[in-house]
């Protein structure tokens, strides 16, 4: 299947932008400011007088969602020209890991910005792994099991098709190969949605590519196939296919190679707290290449796995776990305008430094100006001035039992000082007891029996002076270890039901539990 012209053009554009990152970023900002000058927000902040980044940083304050909510609400009510001159074509819902829903305005220009990240990534996967596009394709982009509703102003919530992110030409070319059922977009329980997806996937013997957010989603689909196999197999018309599926699903570990012999690539999160379920996914699909996603969110495209400038985007090698080596996640340099808040203040992308930890701030074509994402990222390296970034935690996720105020990003750093992979196999949760304490939850028996590790982590957390004071004064008891058979499933309890699938990262730091509420 030849590469589509739109994909080739997107790939060429992205490669050019990587060679001139500062020029690409300044051009993005210039376009956003010029096109937004006639909006209410643009007039309030003097967009007509902004000549470059320095003027923009002085004129527009950094803001979180609450700072923009009143204007977003006005746009959602149908008022034109509030945040952007373009009217929103739809809104998407998002939220914090434990917070309420937030509406994100989507304009045609914002969709175009997403495509400037998604299409180069897709073209690169197509080039490196052509077998991934030889059969049927399965994409999950939007939140699962959600009915398509409207704002107070009658603007749709949700686009109605995940292929909107790919653009008209690419979507039309992919559509005959994409697995889709209309009921996947209708309001239903998560169990009904999982069952519909399981049926759809089992019906595709020629499945070759899967793209989901969390690896736990695909694990749950396979679990549903096993637990509901009688219901599913009754709908399979071909007796030979039905017999094959029955044999493959009757095993303790399903024979995924028999079910999908042509499945070549699965794209999903593989880092942060997704590392453990991604490894479980690799064990379940030993014949499949697992490629990690970059930083993508409902509000913005942050990074994509891509070869740095000057290095061929060749097929990456596979390590012993079957994950890709050698493809860093590079900033989506020509999608939005990015700023990085670190120890030295707020700097644009071209002034970041390798090894630095930052909070990501984005300005998008949908009307989020200097939007504090709350995402902490680590800049591992600079490739020709392009930051290679990794998501390391949410700054807005915190735990405060008695004034210690631990953030997820800090907890990750503390875990890494104790053991480089501890954050991939354990979660931390405060427990309301007398006195309260923190519990390290893990399914790894060696971890929960390693009391020296617990002592070292307790000491590492004491780098937070409030935590150290609370421990010293007896307000906090020593950190404890607890076995948790399935930390991901336990953590999912703290999500709203409709947020548990598709687009939610499992946090490393969980909200506090009541006394005796820790997983055992």
Closest CA to 155 of 76, 49, 211: 76
SS3 288: coil
- Is residue 146 within 8 Å of residue 93, measured between CB atoms? yes
Q: What is the pLDDT of residue 190?
A: 67
Query: Six-digit token pair at 501?
Result: 């699938």
DSSP conformation class of 80: T
In this predicted structure, what is the pLDDT of residue 500?
47
For residue 497, what are the CA distances in angstroms to 33, 40, 454, 486?
38, 36, 32, 18
Name the DSSP letter for residue 177.
Answer: G
Torsion angle defined by CA atoms of residues 175, 179, 183 and 184, in that order, rounded to the nearest 10 degrees: -100
Q: Supply the pLDDT for residue 95.
A: 55
Q: Indicate the pTM of the whole model.
A: 0.79
Instruction: Report strand pairing: 136-139 vs 207-211.
Output: parallel
DSSP 508-519: SEEEEE-TT-S-
Phi, psi of 61 (to 5 degrees): -80, 155
DSSP secondary structure letter of residue 120: H
Supply 285's token pair.
């699909």
- pLDDT truncated to tens, each residue of the chain (520 aa)? 455 788 999 999 999 999 999 999 999 999 999 999 999 999 999 999 999 999 999 999 999 998 999 999 999 999 999 999 999 999 987 754 333 468 999 999 999 999 999 999 999 999 999 999 999 999 887 655 455 689 999 999 887 677 788 888 898 888 899 997 666 666 567 678 888 889 999 999 999 999 988 787 788 889 899 999 999 999 999 999 999 999 999 999 999 999 999 999 999 888 776 777 788 899 999 999 999 888 988 899 999 999 887 665 555 544 444 444 448 899 999 999 999 999 889 999 999 999 999 999 999 999 999 999 988 899 999 999 999 999 887 766 778 787 777 888 889 889 999 999 898 889 999 988 878 899 999 999 999 999 999 999 999 999 887 788 778 877 789 999 999 998 878 887 776 554 444 445 678 888 888 654 444 4
Rounded Cα distance between 275 and 113, Å, is 28
> Count of CB atoms within 10 A of residue 497's CB?
11
**Strands 480-483 and 509-513: what pairing?**
unpaired
Pick the closest to residue 141 from 414, 402, 503, 482 (CA basis). 503
Maximal CA-CA distance, the chain: 70
Q: What is the pLDDT of residue 501?
A: 47
d(CA 81, CA 112): 19
Domains for the chain: give ranges and CATH numbers.
5-107+331-394 (no CATH), 109-155+162-329 (no CATH), 398-513 (3.30.300)
Residue 325 pLDDT:
44
Residue 203 is encoded by which pair of tokens?
């019906």
Residue 191 is predicted with a pLDDT of 76
Task: Record the tokens describing residue 106, joined without a space.
Answer: 């989507």
Is residue 201 within 8 A of residue 138, CB to CB? The reply is yes
> What pLDDT was estimated at residue 441?
95
Burial of 180 (0-12, 13-18, 19+ CB in 10 A): middle
Write down the residue that tokens 């700097």 correspond to. 347
């Amino acid at each position: 299947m030849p590469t589509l012209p739109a994909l080739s053009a997107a790939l060429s554009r992205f490669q050019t932008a990587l060679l001139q990152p500062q020029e690409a970023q300044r051009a993005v900002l210039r376009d956003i400011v010029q096109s937004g000058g006639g909006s209410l927000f643009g007039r309030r902040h003097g967009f007509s007088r902004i000549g470059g980044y320095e003027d923009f940083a002085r004129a527009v304050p950094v803001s979180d969602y609450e700072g923009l909510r009143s204007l977003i609400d006005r746009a959602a009510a149908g008022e034109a020209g509030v945040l952007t001159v373009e009217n929103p074509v739809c809104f998407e819902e998002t939220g914090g890991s434990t917070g309420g829903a937030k509406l994100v305005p989507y304009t045609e220009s914002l969709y175009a910005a997403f495509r400037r990240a998604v299409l180069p990534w897709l073209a690169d996967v197509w080039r490196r792994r052509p077998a991934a596009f030889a059969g049927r394709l399965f994409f999950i982009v939007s939140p699962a099991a959600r009915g398509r509703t409207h704002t107070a102003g009658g603007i749709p919530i949700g686009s109605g098709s995940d292929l909107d992110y790919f653009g008209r030409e690419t979507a039309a070319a992919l559509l005959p190969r994409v697995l889709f059922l209309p009921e996947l977009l209708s309001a239903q329980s998560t169990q009904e949605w999982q069952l519909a997806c399981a049926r759809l996937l089992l019906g595709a013997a020629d499945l070759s590519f899967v793209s989901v957010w969390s690896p736990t989603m695909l694990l749950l689909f396979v679990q549903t196939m096993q637990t509901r196999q009688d219901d599913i197999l009754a709908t399979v018309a071909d007796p030979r296919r039905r017999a094959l599926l029955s044999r493959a699903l009757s095993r303790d570990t399903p024979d995924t190679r028999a079910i999908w012999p042509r499945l070549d690539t699965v794209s999903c999160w593989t880092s942060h707290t997704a590392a453990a379920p991604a490894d479980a996914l690799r064990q379940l699909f030993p014949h499949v290449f697992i490629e990690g996603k970059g930083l993508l969110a409902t509000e913005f495209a942050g990074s994509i796995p891509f070869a740095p400038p000057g290095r061929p985007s060749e097929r990456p090698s596979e390590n012993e776990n079957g994950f890709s080596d050698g493809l860093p996640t590079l900033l989506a340099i020509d999608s939005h305008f990015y700023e990085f808040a670190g120890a030295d203040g707020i700097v644009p992308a071209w002034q970041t430094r390798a090894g630095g930890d930052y909070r990501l701030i984005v300005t998008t074509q949908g009307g989020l100006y200097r939007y504090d994402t709350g995402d902490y990222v680590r800049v591992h390296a600079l490739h020709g001035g392009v930051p290679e970034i990794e998501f390391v935690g949410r700054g807005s996720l915190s735990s405060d039992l008695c004034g210690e105020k631990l953030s997820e990003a800090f907890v990750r750093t503390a875990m890494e000082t104790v053991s480089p992979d501890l954050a991939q196999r354990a979660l931390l949760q405060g427990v309301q007891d007398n006195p309260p304490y923190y519990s390290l939850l893990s399914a790894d028996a060696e971890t929960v029996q390693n009391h020296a590790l617990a002592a070292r982590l307790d000491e590492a957390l004491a780098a937070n002076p409030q935590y150290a004071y609370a421990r010293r004064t007896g307000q906090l008891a020593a950190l404890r270890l607890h076995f948790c058979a399935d930390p991901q499933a336990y953590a999912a309890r703290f999500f709203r039901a409709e947020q548990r699938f598709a687009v939610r990262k499992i946090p490393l730091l969980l909200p506090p539990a009541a006394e005796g509420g820790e997983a055992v």
